[in-house]
Amino acid sequence: MHNRVAFIGGQTGTWRVIAMSAVCGQPLSSVTAIDIVPVTAPPTHAPSVWSLHGIASNVRYAERHEVTELRARQEALGRPHARRAALIPIKKSDAWWDLAQDERRAIFEAQSHHTAIGLDYLPAVARQLYHCRDLGEPFDFLTWFEFAPEHSGVFEELVSRLRRTREWNYVERELDIRLERTSDD
Amino acid sequence: MHNRVAFIGGQTGTWRVIAMSAVCGQPLSSVTAIDIVPVTAPPTHAPSVWSLHGIASNVRYAERHEVTELRARQEALGRPHARRAALIPIKKSDAWWDLAQDERRAIFEAQSHHTAIGLDYLPAVARQLYHCRDLGEPFDFLTWFEFAPEHSGVFEELVSRLRRTREWNYVERELDIRLERTSDD
């Protein structure tokens, strides 16, 4: 699977941990660095403290006009100037997953403006969502953001706006790991 | 994961294979029986010819009124009189997965009436959908149906109606495995 990745937490890696906290729910063990590697079977990465797997999958809520606008404005991961990153693993409650598709879509966008809020921070904040609920992982999503150090402030604003939405009432576990790139590649 | 299962194809199992064919795309090796087992790690089932994994996940298209109607009319798997079954693994094309959510929903229901067609055969045909695209499996879905022998005819009609829909233009691999229960439990 070319689109399946693992976030490997340990002592070495491309991304050095700046800060790591549990926003709600149980924390993960502290690590000093994170590597992001494509998942091949069997896993071949060196021993780590933890690893979280996710997959870049199809969109679940975005409608055509939103997909078009996102693609027009967003930039890819790996921009040289984007030396800061955030890994925010999220688990939503059973109450969320028991909702029908139209109910989840209504909370996600009509009430919480999730896509619209994200658009306000493009292209400064590059994003990638990895799904992992169906993989039997401890989280439902691994959300990954990359931005330049001078955009750290606007990134805080993005995160803060999302956490105040009605959608976030359904978040029962959320970690927040801030990182900076250790290498020049 | 209590809701993750494996369909194990081999020489023994609860369900004896009556017929097995590829509707489109590559076939699987022939087997004489299939067992359905909860997936625990590591897998402990006896040697098999193949195994397909899937997970009973949240709904992806059904709206509240449809979920309510489905729940009111459908019956659970494992009914003693439902001694026939069908396992129909399906893989859809990249063109399908590249569509936005509203485009897939429109094809699925407004144009293809997928849920409405299924409702016509409730409660005779009990169904369970397992997702597997995000698991890196060869199929996107494992669809499972159970019915009494006297409902074999109406089941053929259900399958035939679905295969004539616009949604099925996006199916690029589909197998059809028909089974009968070998035990009384």
Is residue B137 situated within a structural domain?
Answer: yes
Distance between B85 CA and the closest CA of chain A, angstroms: 25
DSSP state of B46: P
Residues of A in contact with B55 (CB under 8 A): 134, 136
Cα separation of A91 and A24, whole Å?
10
Q: Is A34 inside a domain boundary?
A: no
Is the predicted pLDDT of residue A23 greater than 50, yes or no?
yes
pLDDT of residue B41: 64
The verdict on residue B96 lying in a domain is yes
Asked whether the predicted pLDDT for residue A166 surpasses 60, the reply is yes
Residue A131 lies in a domain: yes
Q: How far apart are CA A173 and CA A140, in angstroms?
A: 10
In the prediction, which pLDDT does B1 show? Answer: 39
ipTM of the complex: 0.87
- Contact at CB, A100 and B4, closer than 8 angstroms: no
Global pTM?
0.89
Chain A positions in Cβ-Cβ contact with residue B4 (cut-off 8 Å): 136
Contact flag A64-B98 (C-beta cutoff 8 Å):
no
Q: Determine, for residues A62 and B135 on separate chains, whether the beta-carbon distance falls below 8 Å.
A: no
- Domain of residue A74, residue span: 56-181
3-state secondary structure (DSSP) of residue B146:
strand
Report yes or no on A46 lying in a domain.
no
Structure-token match 């069908």, residue found: B86
On whether residue A6 sits in a domain, the answer given is no
B89 occurs within a structural domain: yes
Chain A residues closer than 8 Å to B62 by CB: 100-101
Cβ-defined contact of B134 to A135 (cutoff 8 Å): yes
Q: Which of A34, A65, A63 is nearest to A50 (CA)?
A: A34
Q: In CATH, what number is assigned to the domain containing residue B117?
A: 3.30.70.3420
User: How far apart (Å, rounded) are the C-alpha atoms in residues B145 and B28?
Assistant: 19
Of B55, B64, B100, the CB nearest to A63: B100
Strands A84-92 vs A15-24: parallel, antiparallel or unpaired = unpaired
Among A114, A134, A140, A141, most B C-beta atoms within 10 A, so best to mutate, is: A134
Cα distance from A18 to chain B (closest Cα, Å)? 31
User: How close is the nearest chain A Cα to the Cα of B184, in Å?
Assistant: 32
Nearest by Cα to B123 from B75, B185, B183: B75
Reply yes or no on whether the pLDDT at B184 is more than 60. Answer: no
Q: Spell out the residues 6+ positions from residue B76 whose beta carbon is closer than 8 angstroms to its own.
A: B126
**A175 confidence band (pLDDT: 50, 70, 90):** very high
Report if residue A77 sits inside a domain.
yes
Indicate the number of domains in chain A: 1
Q: CA A6 to CA B66: how far, in whole Å?
A: 36
**Tokens standing for A56?**
């870049």
